[in-house]
Structure 1
Amino acid sequence: MILFHALPDDLPASQTVPLWRRALRPVLTLGVLALGLWFSRHHLSGLNPADLWASIAALTPLQWLVAVLATAGAFLCVAGQERAIVQHLGYRIDPAHGRGAAMAAAAVSQTLGFGPVVGAIVRRRLLPDLTTAQSFAISAAITLFFFAGLGLLLLALIAIHPIHPLRDEARVLLVVCSVIGATVALLPWRSFMGVAKPPVFTVLRLVLWVGLDILCLGLAFWMLLPQEATPPFLQAMPVFVMALGVGLASGSPAGTGPFEATVLSSLPDVDQSGLVAGILAFRLVGYALPAAVGAVWALAGRHILSAPRLPVLDPVAPCPKMLSTLQRAEVQLARQALLALLSAPGGAVWLTGRLPGLRAFVGDPVGAGGPKAMTVAALDLCRAEGRGAFFYKTGPATAAVLRRQGLTVRPIAREAVLNPQSFALTGPARAGLRRKLRHAAQAGVVVTEPARLPLDDMAQVAALWAARQGAERGWSMGRWDREYVAGQRVMIARDATGRLVGFVSFHACRGEWVLDLIRATDAPPDGTLYALIVGALQIAKAEGVGRLSLAAVPLRDLGLPGLLAPLVRRGLRRTDGLVQFKQAFAPRWERRYIAARGPLRLALGGLLVFWAIHRPGPRPSPVLRGTAWRRRPAESV
């Protein structure tokens, strides 16, 4: 049986490797091996094979056991690295299959040499749904991050070494690298040469996995050295890390030659027979044994594991017809590109967005199937992506399903809901609203839904509002954009002079309107915003709409217990005015919830959502532009 094909089946003919290059590779490998052995000749010339075998035989069972366990831990870290890369690249891979493929690819490739190429071929064999280009992309990313992490770890180890001659230089370089990394992370660009910049959280995950990987391998190596003359672990690690990097960069099988030369020349005070015996034992535990297991897995892994369990939720592009027929208007946030729609085979959709390490599901699923089937599909998707699931602003029915699934559920907000068909200005609960409307009428405020939106005037109002508020929020909240607003239902207010003093916009579908933007000048006439909402209610009633939402406001304490509640209450004082504004309409208040697997992930998800809303980054272009969405003309007048 052939384990590897010379070239993957789907590699384009234009990428076929010339014959001279294929002949050059083994020649270079042999040259590297010979050069490494030549540099080690003084250390190897006086060795007695009997002494080597005696040193290997002297290794205790505990040393062998710790080395094997540390090596296993290193390969689990390799799987973690690959999972982070796959997640960033957006490939859907079953976690169990992906984990096995990652460890097998690493085990075989590091032993045979030319790691990225061999690893990509092994991965492609075990994960046939990946294209060759995708497999090579994973290998390239892992190689890049591994060597970057190895270099940073080497600098850190030298920086903390008590007597290393390059300790001061390493500290300076470590600070410089940290400053460069922080600068790159803060730069606004999101891609470079077509490659998306990974989020800071992803980079930190990779640095952690690479560091643990190398430390585990170093522990395995250190445990197999003669303990009576070997330096302490942290002092021996710089030697091992440097030797590992030189060996892997050489491309020779298992780094043979350069690895030995580096170790032997850097540890001249250690008994050479014991040192070479330790290297041989490490070759057995860290390379030969994993390579044998990896080769077997490459041949039989797909037959051992059950069929891949891939999620049933797939991305779906928003289109006007689909969005207008859904029974939840807020899914139209997908038009603004920071959030997207996932669709199940039965046609149900869920608004979702990626956060560092998490996938957030916003609101409730819409369509056939109900919340139970969709929550199971959502959790399966997150499991396949290697992300945690976070549910934001779900209703009571979905929250109950999530609670039965074992997730931690907490109330987070209240949504103000009105029924345009039964809404009336009468009653003591709306006395304040009637007073505001009288003030607006006395000031000559006129509210209309124009056939042609005054987009230039609206842009000026939006700019004044943003300057007064500091910045627009985003992610699950709409932001001003001419094309985006042109696809909404918009009410505008003009004062007695005809000047535009405010506007509101709504997501609208067949049975529901949801308030999105509220924008006003610095000093609009009293009651203007109240008049805008009442005008929208009147039009929604005429069109038979049964639900108009004024959107949600956070709970005063965000549902937090104990001493945290007063602190949060103090931080949310700015929302008191918004609550008072919505309360004037005497709405029905509906609870909204957040949910995640465990309180720590719940807290992390809440913080990430808060950051995404308050620091949304550059404003994206709408997925659906208003001219393709709105029946009425949208040009300026």
Structure 2
Amino acid sequence: MAHIKPGSAATGTPQVAPLRLPGWGAALRRQSMVIALLLGFALLLRERIAALDWVAIGAAFAQVSWLQWSFAALASAGSFAALANYDALLHRALGTAQPPARARRAGWVAIAISQTVGFGLISGALVRWRMLPGLSLREASHLTAAVAASFLAAWTLLSALVLIALPLPLAGHGVWAVRALAGVVLLAGGGLCALALWQPGIKLARWHLRLPTLPVMGRIIWLCLLDTAFAALALWVLLPTGSGIGALALYPAFLIALGVGFVSGSPGGVGPFEVALFALLPQGETASLMAAILAWRLVYYAAPTLLAMGALVLSDLARPDRARPLLVPPAPALTPHLARLVAQSNQPELGLLHQGEHMVLLSPDTQGGWMVGRTSQALVGLLDPFGSGDIAQFLAQLRMQAHDEGRMACAYKLAPRAAAIARRSGWHVTPVAMECWLDLAGFTLESPARSGLRRKLRKASKAGVTCALEENPNLHELSQIAAHWAQARGGERGFSMGRYSADYISEQPVIVARLNGAIIGFASFHTGHSAWVLDLMRPAPDAPDGTMQALIVAAIDVARANGAARLSLAALPPRAADIDGPARKIWDRAEKGAGAAGLRQFKMGFAPRLSPRYIAAPNRGALMLGAADIARAIHAPPALHAASQTPTRAPSEGQIHPPARAPFKSGSHSS
């Protein structure tokens, strides 16, 4: 699905981009293909077509009762209600900023007109452009193509499901052959869903295809079911009582005929739809079936088209008032208001906002917020909400915003209190990490539990390693060390973890390790009023054993001297042995991952205190898919925005700058 940039919508002035319209040659070639397809069906069924009795058809048409007309009209309205929601759903997924009611109105009008007059991609795009102020013609074209492609994909999967449950013999093949073919289609659809989860962006030559999220896919299939079921019901109620065609018998044949008409490109599928339906339904009274189809075309095509044309003429082109967005977009430099809220919170890890890839979900009074990140499938609230505001209200806001974007709602690394509130709000909650933290007032190297740490520090001291806080470290040297580190490990982790960039690290206190004057490693920290949190830790390839431990101990002394009460070594995955249920297998695999054992050994060498952190989602399915998508986002993050790669030393209000501190030698901390 192509991505639509909403930039033109913000200006309020329609920006007309050139739209390629098919030339006469292309149009004639397409229509010749339609005619050839129709002639092919006609030759196959020439005897049945020749036997049509138009007098009998007229008589059968006259027998359609007003009650049948009324039920058919109601069913048609239900179908168009589902059709309208295709547009509302895809507007949200593509981020066009169009109000849902306006998107639905433009959607059903565009579909009603385009399915009747033909040239669906062109006529549908023109109608949407006419009815949606602020949407460019190019954007309207992309949206129309997305609606058509989404319907076709959903119709394919839905038809496969229906043919497995209600099989029809097709083209002389038996029921089991049809079921086998439908099964292959479903397997392909399952592969597409897996691709959407693990590789949502696909590059084909110069084209970049971005698949919809799994929630959007599921909703499109549901809307397709409602749309086609109501449309088939509208036809079925118009059949005479003695036709012998049941609703369940009609539906699979109707689906196939509808697809044939859609692919043919003829206006309303006229011709291919009728021929396919005659071929798929059992031999019976042809006149009554043809009369029902004619009546159905009046109630399902002609009447909606007349209503749509009236709506198009009377449509109000005034730009609607837009509600103030609740999401503050990503930016490396926080606004003064957000900077104050972040500085007043007791969550130093909110410094991750300076990475420039996460948003803030604001409370209605804008006095509170929640750091929010997007993965391919989920909208994720990171850590706890900050500032004023009820946590349960933030959970409801996150869920609503995720629904509007066609994503799953998920909360990641919640503290125990927030996790308990999420559980009381009906969310499913499970442990996801253990935060390792040190009480700085009582921290001492003399503890028996830290004997291994003392050995590491002695090695670093013997090698001549010194560690100190440096206010203006050489960014070029740090960048080289970070690049070597990332290359050796197949890239940096991201999403909930900081990534090295010159601008980002300039916002943090950095403890630098040197050997004979050369930088051999560094560690950076998020800082708050009473706590420090470890963020980046990058050793050089030739750093002596114990260098990283020396960096942390140096940071402990500097943090304690500046009034911090605790220092967090960040989080570790929970031990698989401590987890019950299906999640145990996930963490068992994580424990066997590269470097997992070494990281656990490093952090536990400080004998930290442990506090659980939780992941939460509205239901178990969203919890499992959200966790898998977060894992993918952490291990394969997208490239950082170019702005975050450039050093910018100019401070802005509310940005955190480390105070000046004295250097420190690691040797003085070894026993």
Query: Same fold per TM (> 0.5)?
Result: yes
Equivalent position to 1:54, from 60, 66, 84: 60
Q: SS of the counterpart of 1:447?
A: strand
Q: SS of the counterpart of 1:492?
A: strand
Is the contact between residue 429 and residue 584 of structure 1 (CA under 8 Å) also seen in structure 2? no
2:327 corresponds in structure 1 to 313
**Separation in structure 2 between the aligned mates of residue 459 and residue 13 of structure 1, nearest angstrom:** 45
1:564, CA displacement in angstroms?
3.4
1:600 corresponds in structure 2 to 621
Instruction: Output one character per residue of 1:197-239: Cα deviation in whole Å (capped at 9) or x when no partner.
Output: 2346378447735763675345654675674489955873575
1:198 corresponds in structure 2 to 211
Which amino acid counterpart does residue 333 of structure 1 have in structure 2? L
1:554 corresponds in structure 2 to 573
**Separation in structure 2 between the aligned mates of residue 15 and residue 223 of structure 1, nearest angstrom:** 45
Equivalent position to 1:78, from 74, 83, 104: 83
Q: Which residues in structure 2 correspond to 1:517-536 (within 5 Å)?
A: 517-520=536-539, 524-536=543-555
1:142, CA displacement in angstroms?
0.9
1:240, CA displacement in angstroms?
0.5
Name the TM-score, length of structure 1 as normaliser: 0.73
1:581 corresponds in structure 2 to 602
Is the contact between residue 201 and residue 209 of structure 2 (CA under 8 Å) also seen in structure 1? no
2:171 corresponds in structure 1 to 164
Distance 1:68 1:623, change over 3 A: farther
2:350 corresponds in structure 1 to 331
The answer to whether residue 398 in structure 2 is matched with residue 378 in structure 1 is: yes
Q: Which residues in structure 2 correspond to 1:10-409 (within 5 Å)?
A: 11=14, 43=49, 47-54=53-60, 57=63, 71=76, 74-75=79-80, 77-79=82-84, 81-93=86-98, 95=100, 98-99=103-104, 102-111=107-116, 113-116=118-121, 119=124, 134-147=139-152, 162-164=169-171, 197-199=210-212, 201=214, 204-205=217-218, 208=221, 212=225, 215-216=228-229, 217=231, 221=235, 227-228=243-244, 233=250, 236-237=253-254, 240-246=257-263, 249-250=265-266, 252=267, 254-256=268-270, 259-260=273-274, 271-288=285-302, 290-291=304-305, 312-319=326-333, 326-327=342-343, 328-336=347-355, 338-343=357-362, 346=366, 348-369=368-389, 371=391, 374-409=394-429
Is the contact between residue 474 and residue 612 of structure 1 (CA under 8 Å) also seen in structure 2? yes
Q: SS of the counterpart of 1:506?
A: strand
**Separation in structure 2 between the aligned mates of residue 341 and residue 114 of structure 1, nearest angstrom:** 43
Distance 1:502 1:256, change over 3 A: same
Is the contact between residue 462 and residue 520 of structure 1 (CA under 8 Å) also seen in structure 2? yes
Is the contact between residue 330 and residue 514 of structure 1 (CA under 8 Å) also seen in structure 2? yes
Is the contact between residue 158 and residue 221 of structure 2 (CA under 8 Å) also seen in structure 1? no
Is the contact between residue 310 and residue 381 of structure 1 (CA under 8 Å) also seen in structure 2? no
Is the contact between residue 491 and residue 503 of structure 1 (CA under 8 Å) also seen in structure 2? yes
Is the contact between residue 340 and residue 353 of structure 1 (CA under 8 Å) also seen in structure 2? yes
Distance 1:455 1:565, change over 3 A: closer
Q: Which residues in structure 2 correspond to 1:501-512 (within 5 Å)?
A: 501-508=520-527, 512=531
**Separation in structure 2 between the aligned mates of residue 584 and residue 184 of structure 1, nearest angstrom:** 40
Instruction: Output one character per residue of 1:17-59: Cα deviation in whole Å (capped at 9) or x when no partner.
Output: 99xx99xx9xx99xx99x989x899948953445444367479
Instruction: Output one character per residue of 1:506-538: Cα deviation in whole Å (capped at 9) or x when no partner.
Output: 234676532122333568544322211111223
2:474 corresponds in structure 1 to 452
2:496 corresponds in structure 1 to 476
> Aligned residues, how many?
604
Q: SS of the counterpart of 2:644?
A: coil
Q: SS of the counterpart of 1:346?
A: coil
Which amino acid counterpart does residue 462 of structure 1 have in structure 2? W
Distance 1:387 1:165, change over 3 A: same
1:276, CA displacement in angstroms?
1.2
The answer to whether residue 513 in structure 2 is matched with residue 466 in structure 1 is: no
Distance 1:257 1:195, change over 3 A: same
Q: SS of the counterpart of 1:552?
A: strand
1:401, CA displacement in angstroms?
4.3
Percentage identity across aligned positions?
31
Distance 1:555 1:295, change over 3 A: farther
Q: SS of the counterpart of 1:624?
A: helix
**Separation in structure 1 between the aligned mates of residue 356 and residue 290 of structure 2, nearest angstrom:** 58
**Separation in structure 2 between the aligned mates of residue 314 and residue 382 of structure 1, nearest angstrom:** 15
Query: Structure 2: where are the runs of 5+ without partners?
Result: 1-11, 652-656, 658-671
1:458, CA displacement in angstroms?
0.7
**Separation in structure 2 between the aligned mates of residue 456 and residue 316 of structure 1, nearest angstrom:** 23
**Separation in structure 1 between the aligned mates of residue 187 and residue 414 of structure 2, nearest angstrom:** 45
1:410 corresponds in structure 2 to 430
Q: SS of the counterpart of 1:440?
A: helix
**Separation in structure 2 between the aligned mates of residue 334 and residue 145 of structure 1, nearest angstrom:** 35
2:509 corresponds in structure 1 to 489
Query: Structure 1: where are the runs of 5+ without partners?
Result: 1-8, 633-637
